[in-house]
A and B are shown apart, each in its own frame.
Chain A
Amino acid sequence: MTRLLRIALAGLALALAAPAAHAQTGRDVPPPAQTQNPNGANPTAGAVTEDQLFRELNKLQGRISIPDGKAAVLEQPQGREWRAFRESWLPWIAGVAILGMAALLAIFYFTRGRIRLEHGEQSGEKILRFNSFERFTHWMVAFCFIVLAISGLNYILGKRLLMPLIGPDAFAAWSQWAKYAHNFLAWPFTLGILFMALVWLRDNIPNRIDVQWIRQGGGFLGDGHPHAERFNAGQKIVFWTVILGGFAMFGTGLLLLFPFSAADINGMQLSQVTHATIGVLLTAAILAHIYIGTLGMEGAYDAMGSGQVDLAWARTHHDLWVEKEQAKTASGPQLRPRATPAE
């Protein structure tokens, strides 16, 4: 009787210890000696282990009868790598890219200062730089991009930076609306990118003039301004960054918007990594674009604000373009002083 009681107690102790060991190690505990066959052989010794399956298949999956096909995958180690990127690396990449760019621009502003109009850049005569459709396209993309960037950064940094400030309830409500804005404004953003590509692609093909412009540092190095057509090399870099980045964001965003419609779990994770990384880099690049278009350079905003710029400014910064435009009209500048471009 005492022996039976001892065996029962030992069995109970093992039953209690095994789950605890599993919780600590995450692995199955080897079967105790008492469960082996009476002849001494372990009947599961030759069975396939979890580690062997991972090595052979790279994931554990089976067959299911419900419509959710991805539920067939029981374990997928790549998911841990994605989670590590999403929770550890990505917030740092976003923070360094955006705060780093803001710091660079601040340093540039306080050391170089605002690029002022030179005396010779003000003639009083105006030339139409961007027509109303071009400005419409630019501002539609700009409006959408600002909302997309803020709501996108909320996915990455919101729970870390915003939620402690406004509390979980307000953060949940804000995030819900931010998500709607992100999903729906992505469409006019893409439409605007498409329009941009159509109206500006021809003027943004790189050529030898751009090489010379870069060699002269866009006018910052050496004397005088380098020649430039309608867009200089710096503007072409911004254009291609926005076009390629914008279409990449649309492609990966489409995969995220329709989950598992064209990608499996690995594809979804890859899409999220690509979408988020390009998104934060694009946001940092556009910060520089906003700076140079507003605070950084006097007169630059007019080109996209009213559409017209001073003829002397245009001759200084885009001399080859002005020559072409004047050759087209053969009557000097398109706009006289105080004239308003056609809307």
Chain B
Amino acid sequence: MRVMLISAVAAILVATGAAFFLGQEQRFAYQAFATTGARVTPSSNLVGPRWTGDPDVPSKSGQITPPPG
């Protein structure tokens, strides 16, 4: 019984490690499948962070959000 429990815990630990490393490799769909020209990112194109149409206008926090890579 003890070996069974240890094996279940080991499986969960390895799975958690796998989840962490796989998460590092994950990209959003808009990064994987489209170029910046096609991305709807209010901070760098289209409407801007304040929805004014000017991407250079800082947001309320005073920072211009960099475009996603």
Contact = CB atoms under 8 A, between A and B. Distances in A.
A188 interface: yes
Contact of B10 (A136, A186, A257, A258): A136
A240 interface: no
A191 B7 contact: no
B33 A68 contact: yes
- Highest count of chain B CB atoms <10 Å: which of A144, A258, A307: A144
Interface stretch (B14-22, B41-49, B60-68): B14-22
A80 B36 CA distance: 32
Given A139-B3, A183-B22, A184-B22, A144 B33 contact: no
A139 B4 CA distance: 6
Given A67-B34, A180-B19, A191 B14 contact: yes
- Highest count of chain B CB atoms <10 Å: which of A65, A66, A183, A184: A184
Nearest to B35: A66
A343 interface: yes
B14 to A, nearest CB: 4
Interface in A210-258: 257-258
A140 interface: yes
Contact of A136 (B3, B17, B18, B22): B3
A140 B35 contact: no
A76 interface: no
B11 interface: yes
A59 interface: no
Contacts of B19: 180, 183-184
Contacts of A66: 33-35, 38
A68 B18 contact: no
A140 B11 contact: yes
Given A136-B7, A139-B8, A187 B35 contact: no
Interface string A148-177: 000000000000000000000000000000
A187 B7 contact: no
A338 B50 CA distance: 76
B10 A184 contact: no
A260 to B, nearest CB: 10
A131 to B, nearest CB: 10
A188 B33 contact: no
B14 A188 contact: yes
Contacts of A186: 18
Contacts of A144: 11
A189 B15 CA distance: 9
A136 B9 CA distance: 11
A67 B35 contact: yes
A185 B12 CA distance: 7
Contacts of A65: 35
Contacts of B2: 343
A269 interface: no
Interface string A63-88: 00111100100000000000000000
B6 A136 contact: yes
- Highest count of chain A CB atoms <10 Å: which of B2, B6, B7, B12: B7
Nearest to A259: B32
A135 interface: yes
A184 B15 contact: yes
Interface in A127-149: 132, 135-140, 143-144
B37 to A, nearest CB: 9
Contacts of B10: 136, 140, 188
B4 to A, nearest CB: 5
Interface of B: 1-4, 6-8, 10-12, 14-19, 22, 25, 32-35, 38
Interface of A: 65-68, 71, 132, 135-140, 143-144, 180-181, 183-189, 191-192, 257-258, 305, 307, 343
The 6 closest A-B CB pairs, nearest first, are: A188-B14, A139-B7, A187-B18, A68-B33, A184-B15, A140-B7
